């Protein structure tokens, strides 16, 4: 069984240069530690807490930059779509199309992404039981597309807090699709910082190790060169400088799980 | 202070005749008991649990039927939109445009509905704290539109269950906008019935009375002539035959609250 | 069907004079508004957040003061016990013996209180589903004692917060025993004020009205002459001066529920 | 940093022979895999769901059997106390005295166990935020006793379910005391099996690995020779025959965490 894949990049495409530098940095790290990388960045943050929040460069410019990442670093890229009209253009560039958690029950969106023939990554809604992800899977497979990833990103736990139920990773893995743990969104405190979501970057390492020990196929980390000044999701993003050390530890745990459990 | 308004109708437009009969029945009841009625029915259920669930007649046919309800019974009508492309047509017919709970943080949708100039009813996401509804309000008022309703429909409480936090009604009312309690969706058990959401119709009366006693401006009930055979949301819909008795009790409580609290 | 009974008094017996004044004040109010009163005060707060919190005068002195309340104002009295050794003395004075919520599954305590022959008020643990109260009932009725009250006081909802699920009142009432809503503890924020529990006194009225509209047999309010300076549970206690107005409104709602539902 | 300690044994002392056999089996396994063992069994289950549930042999007989385990296998032993009157006798035999989760806020109990001078293991209440455990710690240290263990055993998550928040292990470890993860109680479904608590034994391995990867000092497993016929907590107990393999995997992860994080 192969090591987990890292899905990583900045929350949003803040500008072209930084996006390329982060991609280069992550490519170097994952090559050194020996795991695959899928580069992730959003071109439009469509559900920010506040109407005045930074949203990104828009779809056309964002896809152009993601294509540059693909070309220059030979990396697969993933990003999210928010309505059916975006899918055709997105599918031209993206290797994996991601369904945002809040939209994980929107039938038309799941079906249309399924019809694109691309790999589909469905983030589990904060309001969904893990076993109910089978309905989302069925919406996609109704199109004949079986290339599905399932992502855990925390469940609602009272107000302004999420909890990661590690049982969810086991339950979704038993559905037969690769499971990704989105560690940086799982430590968000939704609405917890007034006009934006707060976050608890200090728990990303612990939850990532825990997920690797539980058993996952992919790990999702938002990273930034300077998270405290990021335009999006700074409080829960990891500094690029910490990625290598944390990832090595996670991969060591991943190896133990996979050698013992899947031998 | 005037009595609460009933927002009611079938979950989905199953067919034209039944829709008209339910509108006629509700009009008769609300006239007799002395409260205003807004007729509600969905033309497309876009986030059903299962891909094979009944969705409705589609937008064009659905809006035509809702226009008939307006014309024949002189009733304002409300329905929900799921993406920006639907708003122009919907605004031609609807008096109130509703934002579904799962979409309550989609900035583009809130802004575009705000720009329609119509009254906007935002359903609070099951994953949202009541105080965080101010961000949704700001998205709409950024367009200059202040005609906003806020709807409580239950908060995630573990898996496959919702809980109604009555404090939420107080908190949202203090934001200065009319507050609606959606009693029939608040008793849903999301995903709780296998391939669809279960429901607990038996608690609609209790929660509706409780909400009226807490203080609300509107009450939302899905009704059907024969809920056990409804194509959508049957387990939580009320039989039309029970509406009058239940509504009278709610209105008596509403009157006590409003006479004492708002004198 | 008769009006709900008010169970009320200060959280703890702070001193004899104040206890008597509050009893006198509550007796006057409930006589005027026409409902029964059970006087409640604790002689020992055994599970305060902090080891340095005020606990009360102790059992012997506390029971002496409660006996004086009984004698001078002809009121039944209720208080809580924390272990089996306290029951014999408590049963000499108390009309109703209360099981604290955290102890609601302690078999020996429930059985021993049951054997006292007194009325037993079981507060539902914050960690218990309403339907699981039947097991606590069975522990008491195993002694032949059927004089049981069931009290809702909020359910755990994430960290440092409780939510009142009004369905719980319906579910417990269907078990055939009188149901009490403890409004002032239901608005506690456990641990939410650092070294003690915070509270949201501003929602006591709304939740009490909601519970009366749902249907209850008793209402539990902690009151104090000056809650901001109370030695226990001040943030969630009601000022004595507000009791009459709030109670009248609750009783008006209670009357509507009971006339319609139980005719 | 040394490997985690296993705290393990049957839920309840069902009979002397089986208790000794399980102790012998666990001693053999932990010696082979290289970790310390503390033997755990309860002599009285004081808060079973049902009044007719099996409770154990009682304190005197139970302590006698635990003394035999100590003597014959040279193992430290832990068990729980339920009221102040049990502490003196328990402290004669036990190396660690455990405070049950429901009783984790009972001031008198924490203080009296503190005064025994024994190591105190406080199980975090299902209703408690991890940061609020500092109040329980303060109750114990007020006696001068600093020998404290803190145990996570799941948090209330809606009705009849618990969730393990791995952040809790980090938060409690930062308080400066060893932290134990009680994996078998964390997979209980409280009240979920009708007259007793259900359980999800199938997740014990995943949650134990996750906790070891997060970072813990001790791991708590209820084991039984034949869990499906256990008189207590069978659904969440591990078969003795599976302990060695599962423990080896957990210890391999524990070693990675401790070599990297605590070097």
B186-219 per-position pLDDT tens digit: 999 998 667 777 889 999 999 999 999 999 999 9
Query: Alpha-carbon torsion D176, D182, D187, D188, what sign?
Result: negative
| Gap from D207 CA to chain B (nearest CA, Å) | 18
Which chains form contacts with chain A, at 3 or more CB pairs under 8 Å? B, C, D
Q: What percent of chain A has pLDDT over 70?
A: 97
Which pLDDT score is estimated for B63? 97
Q: Which residues in chain B are closer than 8 Å to A49, comparing Cβ atoms?
A: 105, 132, 135
B212-255 per-position pLDDT tens digit: 999 999 999 999 999 999 999 899 999 999 999 999 999 999 99
Work out the pLDDT band at C231, boundaries 50, 70, 90: very high
- How many Cβ atoms from other residues are within 10 Å of residue D163's Cβ? 21
C-alpha A1 chain-centroid distance: 21
Which pLDDT score is estimated for B51? 83
Work out the pLDDT band at B262, boundaries 50, 70, 90: low
Alpha-carbon span D154 to D187, nearest angstrom? 8
Name the β-bridge partners of C5.
Answer: C218
Alpha-carbon span B79 to B100, nearest angstrom? 10
Which pLDDT score is estimated for D165? 98
B16-62 per-position pLDDT tens digit: 999 999 999 999 999 999 999 999 999 998 888 888 888 899 999 99
- Do B200 and C167 lie within an 8 Å CB cutoff? yes
D168 to chain C: closest CA residue = C159
Terminal alpha carbon distance of chain D: 8
C30-43 per-position pLDDT tens digit: 999 999 999 999 99
Q: Look at residues C128, C13, C7, C114 and name the one whose alpha carbon lies nearest to residue C63.
A: C13
- How many Cβ atoms from other residues are within 10 Å of residue D54's Cβ? 14
A209 to chain D: closest CA residue = D213
Which pLDDT score is estimated for A42? 95
Select from D51, D83, D125 the Cβ nearest to the Cβ of C83.
Answer: D83
Alpha-carbon span A192 to D188, nearest angstrom? 30
Work out the pLDDT band at C46, boundaries 50, 70, 90: confident
| Gap from C157 CA to chain A (nearest CA, Å) | 5
Going by C-beta distance under 8 Å and a sequence separation of 6 or more, which residues neighbour residue A236?
A184, A185, A187, A188, A197, A199, A200, A201, A204, A222
- Complex-level ipTM: 0.96
Q: Report DSSP state, residue A42.
A: B
| Gap from D169 CA to chain B (nearest CA, Å) | 21
| Model confidence at A192: pLDDT above 80 | no
Q: Which residue of D184, D211, D213, D242 is the best one to mutate when testing the A interface, meaning the one whose CB has the most A CBs within 10 A?
A: D213
Region of poorest pLDDT, from C16-30, C168-182, D41-55, D188-202: D188-202
- Phi and psi at residue C44, to the nearest 5°: -155, 120
DSSP-based three-state secondary structure for A37:
strand
Instruction: Spell out the SS3 assignment of chain D.
Output: CCCCEEEEECCECCCHHHHHHHHHHHHHHHHHHCCCEEEECECCCCCCCCCCCCCCCCHHHHHHHHHHHHHHHCCCEEEECCCHHHHHHHHHHCCEEEECHHHCCCHHHHHHHHHCCCEEEEECCCCCCHHHHHHHHHHHHCCCCCCEEEEECCEECCCCCEECCCHHHHHHHCCCCCEEEEHHHHCEECCCCCCCCEECHHHHHHHHHHHHHHCCCEEEEEEECCHHHCCCCHHHCEEHHHHHHHHHHHHHHHHHHHHHHCC
Select from A163, A253, A257 the Cβ nearest to the Cβ of D163.
Answer: A163
Which pLDDT score is estimated for B198? 85
Work out the pLDDT band at B79, boundaries 50, 70, 90: very high
Which pLDDT score is estimated for B261? 66
Q: Look at residues A25, A39, A43 and name the one whose alpha carbon lies nearest to residue A232.
A: A43
Instruction: Spell out the SS3 assignment of chain C.
Output: CCCCEEEEECCECCCHHHHHHHHHHHHHHHHHHCCCEEEECECCCCCCCCCCCCCCCCHHHHHHHHHHHHHHHCCCEEEECCCHHHHHHHHHHCCEEEECHHHCCCHHHHHHHHHCCCEEEEECCCCCCHHHHHHHHHHHHCCCCCCEEEEECCEECCCCCEECCCHHHHHHHCCCCCEEEEHHHHCEECCCCCCCCEECHHHHHHHHHHHHHHCCCEEEEEEECCHHHCCCCHHHCEEHHHHHHHHHHHHHHHHHHHHHHCC
What mean pLDDT, rounded, does chain B reach?
A: 95
Which pLDDT score is estimated for A196? 72
Name the β-bridge partners of D239.
Answer: D224
| Model confidence at C183: pLDDT above 80 | yes
| Gap from A203 CA to chain B (nearest CA, Å) | 21
B46-57 per-position pLDDT tens digit: 888 888 888 899
Q: Bigger pLDDT: D53 or A79?
A: A79
Q: Which residue of C46, C47, C120, C160 is the best one to mutate when testing the D interface, meaning the one whose CB has the most D CBs within 10 A?
A: C47
Which pLDDT score is estimated for C64? 97
Q: Which residue of D161, D210, D242, D255 is the best one to mutate when testing the A interface, meaning the one whose CB has the most A CBs within 10 A?
A: D210
For D190-195, what is the mean pLDDT? 76
A120-144 per-position pLDDT tens digit: 999 999 999 999 999 999 999 999 9
Which pLDDT score is estimated for C261? 66
C115-159 per-position pLDDT tens digit: 999 999 999 999 999 999 999 999 999 999 999 999 999 999 999
């Amino acid at each position: 069984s192969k090591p987990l894949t890292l899905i990583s990049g900045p929350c949003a495409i803040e500008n072209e240069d930084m996006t390329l530098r982060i991609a280069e940095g992550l490519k170097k790290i994952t090559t050194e530690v020996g795991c695959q990388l899928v580069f992730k960045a959003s071109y439009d943050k469509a559900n920010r807490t506040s109407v005045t929040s930074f949203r990104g460069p828009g779809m056309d410019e964002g896809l152009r930059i993601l294509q540059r990442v693909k070309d220059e670093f030979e990396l697969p890229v993933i990003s999210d779509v928010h309505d059916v009209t975006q899918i055709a253009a997105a599918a031209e560039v993206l290797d994996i199309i991601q369904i945002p958690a809040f939209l994980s029950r929107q039938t038309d969106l799941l079906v249309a992404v399924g019809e694109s023939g691309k790999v589909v990554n469905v983030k589990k809604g904060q309001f969904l039981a893990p076993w109910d992800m089978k309905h989302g899977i069925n919406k996609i497979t109704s199109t004949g597309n079986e290339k599905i990833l399932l992502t855990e990103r925390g469940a609602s736990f009272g107000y302004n807090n999420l909890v990661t139920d590690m049982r969810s990773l086991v339950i979704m893995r038993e559905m037969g699709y690769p499971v990704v743990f989105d560690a940086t969104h799982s430590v968000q405190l939704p609405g917890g910082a007034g006009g934006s979501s707060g976050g608890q970057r200090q728990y990303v390492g612990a939850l990532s190790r825990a997920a690797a020990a539980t058993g996952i196929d992919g790990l999702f980390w938002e990273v930034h060169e300077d998270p405290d000044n990021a335009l999006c999701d700074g409080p829960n993003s990891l500094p690029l400088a910490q990625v290598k050390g944390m990832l090595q530890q996670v991969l060591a745990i991943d190896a133990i799980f996979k050698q013992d459990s899947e031998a």
